[in-house]
Amino acid sequence: MKSSLSTKLFILAFFVFGCKETIVEQQFPKEFTNDLLHADLVGKVVQKNSKAKVIISQVAPIDSVDINSVDGSFAFRNLRIGNYDVTIRADNYRIYSRSNVILTGGSITYLGEVDLSTVPDLVESHYPERDGEIVYDWRYGRITVSILFTRPMDRASVEKAFSTNPPSEGIFVWGNYTKAPVGGLFADAKLGFNPGATITTYSKITSMTYSFARKDSYTDTTYTVTLGTTAKDTAGNFLRFPLRFKFSTVQSYSTQNGIQTSPVHGDIDVSPLSNYGIIVTFPRRMNKASVEAATHVTPPMNTIFLWPDENQLKIYTGGPFLSDTTISVMIDSTARDKDGIAMGHQFYFSFRTAPFSIAYTYPSNGQLFASMTEPIRLSFNNYVMMSSVQPAFSISPSVAGIFSYGGYYPYETLSEVKFTPNAPLQSNTKYTMTVSAEVKDMYGVKMKSPYSFSFVTRPN
């Protein structure tokens, strides 16, 4: 029974007396929109140009209206009180469903502003998010796209309907949903893919990850991912409209200002004998010539520039670092990346090397059961000047011997001095070695203080 503002409730009373019928009329106040048995349902769709249709149901559909193309609003008037299911359908939008909307008598129920999703009904979520940015280190990882479905999917149809722009080759991994680029999990496309076992049942598989080939994984790039309407679930239901979203890759995990160095700015006691030189890692692939021209090392050295990677510069200073010295590197703002973009700021870092000293000895200080026939070794933290060692070295009890560099010719270790006794040392005897501060490194820098250590030989 439907009513309007002028609706009157008729109460029929039967009186048996004389078979006469008396009608008693009751009228609601004019401010009531509905009577106690009816209500209105209204709402609004954000996508006002979507041509959406709103359907209300109680087990079966009862009524439907098109949204207003001006403001996206919709309304159902004079519905009987009760629970209703609301469905909103529009082309290229996910079906919106809301169950058990309760309408009470004499009320206007506002469903709110409904924002229709552009994710198809068979898709629960995807990574990367729409218009998202992902951090991608081109040196190690592979870009990944993951999709979580609402139903088990037909694998072959999904893989055939999937594409990217720029185009890419890749491998599909089913039963997997990842939210980050991966490294080292899958073979490069140029080497061919091994798809693994063929999946013949799909009753429970609702997720997949697509891993790009390294050759198609680009930094600073916007990708468009499309899953076409030929993709279907295992029951044969196709996507009503394509899944399509964009995402961008960010070149590095650090910012433009986040240049990394080794040694790190402010380091002290850096070993002068470094096999790595000075390493500068940029967050971008760089124009080598512009970086080299913009790089200045202090104190001035015979620098040689090497590029292990397009974003990594190695500075060789012509040998070990100077001992006990502050070394600074300045890269001015004219250094450019491979796209020709200048850094736009000056980058500076410095570190201080350790004083020239003995790093360790053999035998070690305090060692027991030392060999009586092995040479005594002095390992310095920098190349040592052999001519300065012999006058600076003493041993007690006195032992005659020969001095030489460590290792074997032509692979001598210039930071190590061997003292080979002319005869075996005495057994079960304490020996004390002292190296005075007069010993010098290859640059003529002396040790700051003498070094002494003792050991005891093994018994016979």
CATH number at 265 reads 2.60.40.3710
Domain end position, chosen among 87, 114, 141: 114
Q: Are residues 273 and 287 in the same domain?
A: yes
Of the candidate ranges 329-338, 346-355, 402-411, the one whose mean pLDDT is the lowest: 402-411
Q: SS3 for 135?
A: strand
Q: Where are the alpha helices (DSSP H) in 121-228?
A: 155-161
Let me know if residue 255 belongs to a domain. no
> Across residues 14-33, what is the average pLDDT?
38
Q: Are residues 58 and 141 in the same domain?
A: no
Domain end position, chosen among 232, 250, 268: 250
Is the predicted pLDDT of residue 341 greater than 70, yes or no? Answer: yes
Is the predicted pLDDT of residue 288 greater than 90, yes or no? Answer: yes
Nearest 5°: the CA angle 131, 137, 140 is 135
**Distance between CA 231 and CA 123 in Å, rounded?**
11
Q: Which residues contact 289 (CB under 8 A, 6 or more apart)?
A: none
* Structural contact between residues 359 and 451, judged by C-beta atoms closer than 8 angstroms: no
Q: Which domain holds residue 301?
A: 260-352
pLDDT band at 182; cut points 50, 70, 90: low
Q: Which of 364, 391, 392, 384 is nearest to 376 (CA)?
A: 364
Let me know if residue 143 belongs to a domain. yes
Q: Are residues 328 and 388 in the same domain?
A: no
pLDDT band at 167; cut points 50, 70, 90: very high
Let me know if residue 278 belongs to a domain. yes
Domain end position, chosen among 215, 250, 285: 250
Let me know if residue 2 belongs to a domain. no
Let me know if residue 3 belongs to a domain. no
Let me know if residue 246 belongs to a domain. yes
**Distance between CA 444 and CA 325 in Å, rounded?**
13
Q: Are residues 347 and 363 in the same domain?
A: no
Let me know if residue 133 belongs to a domain. yes
Q: Are residues 223 and 129 in the same domain?
A: yes
Q: Are residues 334 and 314 in the same domain?
A: yes
Q: Are residues 155 and 79 in the same domain?
A: no
Taking CA atoms, 150 is separated from 232, 321, 332, in Å, by 11, 62, 54
Specify the amino acid at residue 3: S
Mode of pairing for the β-strands spanning 243-250 and 132-135: parallel
pLDDT band at 217; cut points 50, 70, 90: confident
| Burial classification of residue 260, based on how many CB atoms lie within 10 Å of its CB (0-12 exposed, 13-18 middle, 19 or more buried) | middle
Instruction: Provide the token pair at 379.
Output: 């390992």
Q: Are residues 73 and 133 in the same domain?
A: no
Interval 317-336: pLDDT, tens? 989 999 999 999 999 999 99
Of the candidate ranges 129-133, 219-223, 432-436, the one whose mean pLDDT is the lowest: 219-223
Instruction: Provide the token pair at 203.
Output: 């009753």
**Cα dihedral across residues 400, 404, 405, 409: positive or negative:** negative
> HSE-up of 184 (CA within 13 Å, CB side)?
2
Beta strands in 92-169 (DSSP E): 96-103, 108-114, 123-127, 132-135, 144-149, 162-165
**Average pLDDT of every residue of the chain:** 86
Q: Which of 458, 447, 421, 453 is nearest to 434 (CA)?
A: 453
Residue 390 parent element (H or E): helix 386-392
**Distance between CA 163 and CA 146 in Å, rounded?**
13
Let me know if residue 444 belongs to a domain. yes
Q: In the chain, how many domains are there?
A: 4
Residue 292 parent element (H or E): helix 288-294
* Structural contact between residues 84 and 71, judged by C-beta atoms closer than 8 angstroms: no
Q: SS3 for 346?
A: coil
CB neighbours of residue 411 within 10 Å? 8
